[in-house]
């Protein structure tokens, strides 16, 4: 049986040199799709991944990450777009890294595709109408 999950990896920058992706692919047969990666000013790494693979190998891959001191959490928050509140200003569409929030042309209407959202929260911080919310 196979699994496919979106997870958030948090780690110290000092392990950035570790061949994490290589090992997940080569040693555990997992297919990582990197949705977001960044290292913040406090030198903490943050990686949002979609990981697919065989169930047992997936569990072993998680153990491998934990053994490196990497915390792995399910990406279970989701962003909800409240269309009624949206002023169609378009601010979020310029910030959204995945085009989950996008401006349709030529109508110039904003739309939201939850499947593309990686919960980076950029839109939550920028929306003047509080038309995007985080749900758990």
Q: Point out which residues bind ligand SF4 (CB under 6 A).
A: 79, 86-92, 95-98, 100-101, 110, 117-123, 126-127, 129, 131-132
What's the closest the beta carbon of residue 26 comes to ligand SF4, in angstroms? 30
Considering the complex, state which of residue 20 and residue 79 has its C-beta at the smaller distance from ligand SF4: 79
What's the closest the beta carbon of residue 122 comes to ligand SF4, in angstroms? 4
Considering the complex, state which of residue 69 and residue 97 has its C-beta at the smaller distance from ligand SF4: 97
Residue whose C-alpha is closest to residue 119's, from 97, 93, 91, 88: 97
| Contact in structure between 47 and 118 (CB atoms under 8 Å) | no
Chain-centroid distance of CA 121 in Å reads 10
Considering the complex, state which of residue 25 and residue 75 has its C-beta at the smaller distance from ligand SF4: 75
Residue whose C-alpha is closest to residue 86's, from 111, 66, 67: 111
Please report, for residues 9, 90, 134, the alpha-carbon distance to residue 45 in angstroms, rounded to integers and kept in the order given.
Answer: 8, 30, 22
């Amino acid at each position: 049986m196979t699994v496919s999950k979106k997870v958030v990896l948090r780690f110290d920058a000092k392990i950035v040199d570790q061949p994490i992706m290589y090992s997940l692919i080569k040693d555990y047969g997992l297919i990582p799709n990197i949705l977001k990666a960044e290292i913040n000013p406090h030198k903490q790494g943050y990686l949002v991944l979609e990981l697919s693979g065989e169930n047992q190998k997936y569990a072993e891959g998680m153990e491998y990450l934990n053994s490196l001191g990497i915390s792995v959490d399910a990406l279970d928050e989701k962003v909800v777009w409240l269309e009624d509140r949206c002023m169609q200003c378009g601010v979020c569409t310029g910030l959204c890294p995945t085009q989950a929030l996008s401006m349709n042309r030529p109508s110039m209407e904003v739309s939201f595709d939850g499947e593309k959202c990686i919960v980076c929260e950029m839109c939550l911080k920028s929306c003047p109408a509080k038309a995007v919310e985080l749900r758990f």
